[in-house]
């Protein structure tokens, strides 16, 4: 009997609850262990406590933004992949360039996202 390869643990971070719920439920339907939080502070605690191996994270959030949250997550794990996403905002290119220069962007997804983009990215980065 073949042993099925385990799927990864994924955290979704977005201050818009409907997006966090939507992405995490999509991932759960595909067999991933997925959860969501609504702030950078909560994301850091979740990664520290639960060992997620993939994080989908909004860049623009109140309090800690996605880049600041990424830096804090890296203090607790060097193996989790972080996928940043956002809708359009004025200085998005500058923020993305900053993230690339710091080596923090494994992939970038623009909102509105498509379900197939989320699932393709999860398959690429989350399988353990």
Q: Does the domain made of 9-123 have the CATH classification 3.40.50.2300?
A: yes
pLDDT at position 103, please?
66
pTM over 0.75: yes
Residue in the structure block whose two tokens are 């995490």:
24
**pLDDT digits 0-9 by tens, 70-96:** 889 988 888 888 888 876 666 666 766
What count of residues does the chain have? Answer: 128
pLDDT at position 1, please?
43
Those residues of the chain that have pLDDT short of 70 are 1-6, 87-93, 95-96, 99-100, 103-113, 127-128
Domain ranges in the chain are 9-123
């Amino acid at each position: 009997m073949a042993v099925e390869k385990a799927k990864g643990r994924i955290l979704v971070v977005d201050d818009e609850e409907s997006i966090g719920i939507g992405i995490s439920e999509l991932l759960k339907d595909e067999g991933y262990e997925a959860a969501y939080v609504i702030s950078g502070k909560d994301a850091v605690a979740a990664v520290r406590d639960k060992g997620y191996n993939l994080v989908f994270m909004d860049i623009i959030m109140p309090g800690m933004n996605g880049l600041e949250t990424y830096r804090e997550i890296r203090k607790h794990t060097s193996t989790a992949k972080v996928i940043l996403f956002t809708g359009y905002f004025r200085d998005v290119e500058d923020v993305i360039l900053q993230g690339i220069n710091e080596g923090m962007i494994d992939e970038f997804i623009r909102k509105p996202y498509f379900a197939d983009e989320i699932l393709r990215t999860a398959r690429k980065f989350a399988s353990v």
